[in-house]
Every structure is written in structure tokens, then in C-alpha cells.
Structure 1
Amino acid sequence: MKKWNWIIASGVTAIATVNVQAQELSERQLCLLDKLNTTKADTTIADIRSQCKQQLGSADNEDIVQVDAVEKPGALTNRLKSEQVTQFDPYVLTPHRRNYLLPVITSNNINSLQYADVEGYQENLEDYEAKFQVSFKIPFNKESLLFEDDQLLFGLTIQSWWQVYSDDISKPFRETNYMPELFYATPTGWHPFGTNTGLAFGIEHLSNGRSQPLSRSWNRGYMQFVVEKGRFVFSLKPWLRFQEDEKTEPMESSGDDNPNITDYVGDYEFTTAYNDGDFEYILKLRHAIDTGRGSAELNWTFPLGGKFIGYTSIFTGYGESLVDYNHKQTRFGIGIALNNIL
């Protein structure tokens, strides 16, 4: 018992010494620290509190030591810390979003109308196909720029929809979307209700690299506010589209290919994620303020063993891909992933 009392007393003393300056302590806290350092090792914490109570006449319901310390790191912070170990290794690509392969993803309403001008596509597109995503990021700075632990990064995400089961049209890649981005991210140092918070500001270009009439692209700037608490992470990401010139002719290469895209894919995105160590769940909601349209996507992962993670995805709404930005459908897919988000 003496040993445990000494360990507890030493631990409380260390925490108080590291996190609080002596001049900021209350009289009760100074008394507690003084007693911890001067009393015998076999003195209990209860005895010390009682002595200070008698000495100062303070209420017994006060905390032993109040510290305004940084909250415990959550799931996202732990991921970022682990990335810092290898992010400048020339042989390592750091994941940005999830990297995955869905060998089969179905649709209740495949968007064949968009391919009416492509010979053979409209009548031969299958409502099930494969989908994969590759995503990585590269940091520019090793040292902090403006705030502690902030970073400027480049990211690239590529999504492809592959009609691998369409024998009559030679199994083409129906759609590929490219999203390069430049963004700045920083923790805020704000910890409301025991949370950790962060901010990101970025510019994204989204394009499918196609010629007319299937060309789709747009540019946007965004701000992202992130809150984490233990295994939970919440994110709010509003964006502003950079407008392009209107087309004078539909088949022109220059000009806006999709002038009303935000009416369908939305003006902001809300995401909530949870990881319990084995399973990860992510719900993503997009909403257009003027039209009420948008989408909902639920993803979850489960252990498989080795490097691979089981991955399942359900999507419903508009904008699953750029060519489908104004096409509503529900999709379900199952496959494997190489990394989680948390």
C-alpha cells in the first residue's frame, strides 16, 4: 500500500508540475503540492486533502489539481502522428483519402443516356461494374509555417468506373475522375467539451478528362472544420465554386461544361466517422441549399487480415461521378481497401 500511495502522489506531482505554473495555482492547489512534496510516503491522498481543508477552510468538493492541458489525441490525430514518421521517406506514398477496389458495384439506374452519342454504349452498359480509387498526399514543409504542427500539402485522388462485365463494348473505363488539390491544414488549439479541433483551407480541380459531349469539370475553394473526440471525428466542409464563362456552342471545348453542378452535388459536405479498432464507419452527406438535392454515402470497413481491409459502400443521390452529376441513383459495392481514414 505504501508503494502505491507513493506512486500516486508522485504522478499527481509530475502532472501538476508539467502542466501548470506555480503562480497560476490557487491556494488550495499550492497547499496540496506542498503536502505531496513534504509529507511521508505512507501518507494517503485523503489525509493530505483533509490537512489542506483544515488549513485553508476550503470546500471538500474542489478538484485536487485543475489543469488546462491539451485534450488527449483522438483517432485522427493518432493517424496524422503516425504519418509524420514516414511522410518524407522517398519510398513511401502517404494515403490521403481511402485507397480501395470494389470488384462489383451495382446501380439501380445506370446513366446510359449520357452515352447516347458514343456508339454501342447506351444499349450495352451494364448496371454493375468495378470501381477503384487511388489517393495520396505530399507535404511541402517539415517545420511549422504559421502555427505549430501546421502543413501545406498537395493531394491527388483518382476514381475510375470500369465496365469490366460489358463484353459487347470491350470492357471500357466508363468514367475516370481526377482531383488534384492544394491545401493548408492546422490544429486550432481550441478544445470545447473535451474535443480537439482543426481547420483546412484548399483549392480543388475536378475533371474527367473527356472531350465533348462527355467533358465535365469544375474548380472550387473550400474551408473544412474538423472536430475529434476519442474515436469519433466530425467534419463540415463548405465550398465555393469558381465560375467559368458560358458556352456559346454546346460542343465548344472552352466554357462551362456543367453550369448547374452545385444544384445537384451540393454546396457543402458533412462527414462523421467512427473507428473502434476493428470496424470503421463513415457517413457523408452533401446538400444543395437552393434546390435541396444532394447525396448520402455510408461506408464501413472490417478486418480481413494482412494488408487488406474489407470495404463496403452504399451511395444514394446525385453526383457519384462527374458524368453522373445530375443523375440520381442508388449504388452498392463490396471489395477491399488498403487503408482506413482513422
Structure 2
Amino acid sequence: MSSHLRKLQISTLLLSALAALPVTAGVDDIVKTPEEIALEQKIKACAQTLKETGFVTADDKLIFRYCETRILSRGIKKGRLAQRIINERTTELNPFVITPHKQSYILPFTISDRFNRKPYESNELISGQLEEYESKYQISFKVPLRSSTLFIPGDGLYFAMTIQAWWQVYSDEISKPFRETNYTPEIFYVAPLPWKPNDGNMAFTLHFEHQSNGQTQLLSRSWNRILASVVYEKDDFAVGIKPWYRLKENEKTSPLDPSGDDNPDIHKFLGYYELFGAYAFNDQHKLSFNLRNNWNTGNGSIELNYSFPFPGSSRLVGFAQYFSGYGESLIDYNHKQQKIGFGIAVNDIF
């Protein structure tokens, strides 16, 4: 078999693997710059060359995406975060694969130094039997809402869902209930920025997010936010800032009013922004953080996540989490505590 033929067959395999990478063929009525026109011509020429060989059986969209990825990635130095984004986009159009959003993990054991019983005091039986140690898990995924570029080459529009649950699995006398579950659906847009300070990469995101614990009346907590972020990554680290604006809700007429704002003072404890980042010591040991703060009240929180090798598995990673401050869950938004947990994660930070 000739070297040329082997390369063509490898390209065919890559076309399937790169199914979800963005397309630069944007909306026709947008005026394109000479640079954008030249880039599109290069991609089309690449796609036409592959199709003319007769060895590539993928459809035009896959061929176009493969060529775009190959051309756009030339000369770009990619850090761990950028490489993760590229790897994730190879699964976006595969209906049998769920693409990660945030980390998904389970902590079979977590313990608090100041467990919050106050929200459950209306039911003394349950409140008295809740344990200060429990399990916690998070599931997070995203799906693309477009299979082509919207505004900027390399951008993406997504729907994402993150579910966190705190499970009283050790409370045998009250049938091991789920004490709290937080649901966070969101729609977000992500795109690269043209600046590359110190040979790094930058991107920005825009989000509309709803977060709720799905409870009723006295236990109900929720809010809606518009968020934006700017992220910088290089080599083994990434850092970013994400401010938000909370969408106002009507006041409740009484504590039992099913409509209205469940937590009008949440900003006093969770603030108006978060700082986040991650660093990889190597391929097996990685640390990430999330910091929230309200400068007026001095309230906020810090969360540290550490991943490490999980014995006997190349797919799972060991996972440890430390939290200190307000808002570990929505029901605890105005309660300060420290928590630590240990478990496993099914995907790493990058």
C-alpha cells in the first residue's frame, strides 16, 4: 500500500473523529473580511482535494470541518484547556456520546464542621436525624445547538445541564433521603479572542443560567443570572473571571407564597462574580479552584478540587474537594461552613 493511500485512509478516520468541530461557513448575509474570505477558500480547496481522491466517504460537512480544524490549528500553541475543548468537540455530533461540561464526580463521604439544620426545623423528626456526613455527586454535560460557526471561527452555542445532589445515605432512620438537589440548566456561547499574551490563548463566554433546588415554599431556592467570562490559558494552567447580573424577581407577599423571590439577599453571600482556575502538576495530579466574594459584606467562598490517579483504573480519577464559606448548595446560600469530601471523578478538569 502506498504512503499516499495510507495518509488518505488516516484522513478518513480523522473526519469521523472530528465530527463536531466548528464550521467557518457562516451566515451568507454577513460581510466577510478579505482574511475570512481567504481562509474559507483554503478550507474549500482542502475539502475539494479530499473529495476528488475518491477515498473519502464522509459527507461534505465532516470534510469541511476536518479541513477547517487542520488549517485553523496551524501555528497555534495549545495549552491543556484548548486541547480539552478540541477533544470534546470530536464527540459533539455523535448521538451516542455525552460531552462533559463541568466535572462529573461522586463523593461517597463528605463531612461538615457546621451542618445546617435550620431550613428543616419545621419537621423536627427529619431535622434531628440528619447526619453531618453525607454523600455528594455532580453530573454535568452539554450539547451543541449549532453545527456551524455563528459569528466567529471556532465559536459554539450550547445547552448545558449540571445537577448536584447531597444524599443522606448514612441516615438509616429517615430512609436515606436526598437532602438537597440543585439543577442548573444554561445556554451559553463561547468564542476565541484574537489576543495571545505571552503565547497563551484567550476566550470569552456569555451565559443565561437558571439555578433551582426544585423545592416548594419554605425550602425553595432559585435565581436567574446573565453571566460573562474571560479565560486565559497557557500550557498547564488556566485562569478566568466570571461576573454576573441577577435578574430581579417580584417580592413574596408571604413566606408561603409559591411565587416571588425565594432568596432576595443571595447576592450578599455569593457576591457578583467568581474567579476560577486550574493547574496541572502533571498528567495525573491537577488542582482547580473557584472563589466567590462580595466586597461590601466580606462574604464569599472558596472551593478547591484535587484530582489524582485512581488505583486500577485508567478511566476514573481520584477526587478530593474542600469547601469553605457560604453557598455550598442553594439551601445553604446564607450558611457558612467548611466541608471536605473524597471520591472519584469520571472526567478531569483538563
1:275-294 equivalences under 5 Å are 275=280, 276-294=282-300
**Residue 118 (structure 1) shift:** 2.4
Equivalent position of 2:197 in the other structure: 192
Specify the alignment match of 1:173 in structure 2: 178
Matches within 5 A, 1:213-292: 213-275=218-280, 276-292=282-298
Structure 2 residue aligned with 1:327, among 328, 331, 335?
335
How far the C-alpha of 1:193 sits from its partner, in A, is 2.0
TM-score of the pair, normalised by structure 1: 0.79
The runs of 4+ residues in structure 1 deviating greater than 3 Å are none
Give, in whole Å, the separation in 2 of the partners of 1:70 and 1:190.
Answer: 14
Aligned ranges for residues 198-213 of structure 1 at < 5 Å? 198-213=203-218
Could you tell me how far apart the structure 2 residues matched to 1:269 and 1:173 are?
Answer: 27
Supply the AA of the counterpart residue of 1:209.
Answer: G
Aligned to 1:80: 85
Residue identity matched to 2:184: M
Q: CA deviation at 1:223?
A: 0.5
RMSD of the TM alignment (CA)? 1.1
Q: Specify every segment of 5 or more residues in structure 1 that has no aligned partner in the other structure, as ranges.
A: 1-68
TM-score (norm 2): 0.77
Identify the match of residue 107 of structure 2 among 95, 102, 107: 102
Q: Pick from 292, 297, 308 the counterpart of residue 302 of structure 1.
A: 308
Q: Which whole-Å deviations, capped at 9, do the CAs of 1:51-102 have from their partners, x for residues lacking one?
A: xxxxxxxxxxxxxxxxxx9541111110011112111100000010011000
What is the number of residues matched between the two proteins? 274
Confirm or deny: 8 A CA contact 1:178 1:208 kept in the other structure: yes
Shift of 1:289: 2.9
Please tell me whether the aligned partners of residues 181 and 203 of structure 1 are also in contact (alpha carbons under 8 angstroms): yes
Secondary structure at the aligned position of 1:278 is classed as coil
Taking the aligned partners of 1:333 and 1:316, their CA distance within structure 2 comes to 12
Shift of 1:105: 0.4
1:241 to partner: Cα distance: 0.3
Q: Secondary structure at the match of 1:323?
A: helix
- Once the two structures are superposed, residues 6-47 of structure 1 have per-residue CA deviations (whole angstroms, 9 ceiling, x without a partner) of xxxxxxxxxxxxxxxxxxxxxxxxxxxxxxxxxxxxxxxxxx
Structure 2 Cα separation of the partners of residues 288 and 177 of structure 1? 22
**Based on CA coordinates, which of the two structures has the bigger radius of gyration?**
1
Residue 301 of structure 1 contacts residue 312 of structure 1 at CA under 8 Å; is this kept in 2?
A: yes
Q: Matched residue of 1:256: which SS? A: coil
Give % identity: 47
Aligned partners of 1:299 and 1:320: how far apart in 2? 13
In 2, are the aligned partners of 1:70 and 1:191 still within 8 Å (CA)?
no
**Equivalent AA in structure 2 for residue 103 of structure 1:** P
Cα distance change, pair 70–226 in 1 and its aligned pair in 2 (3 A): farther
Q: Residue 306 of structure 1: CA displacement?
A: 2.8
Asked whether the equivalents of residues 135 and 155 of structure 1 are also in contact (C-alpha less than 8 Å), the reply is yes
Please tell me the residue identity of whatever aligns with 2:298: G
Q: What is the distance in 2 between the residues matched to 1:255 and 1:70? A: 53
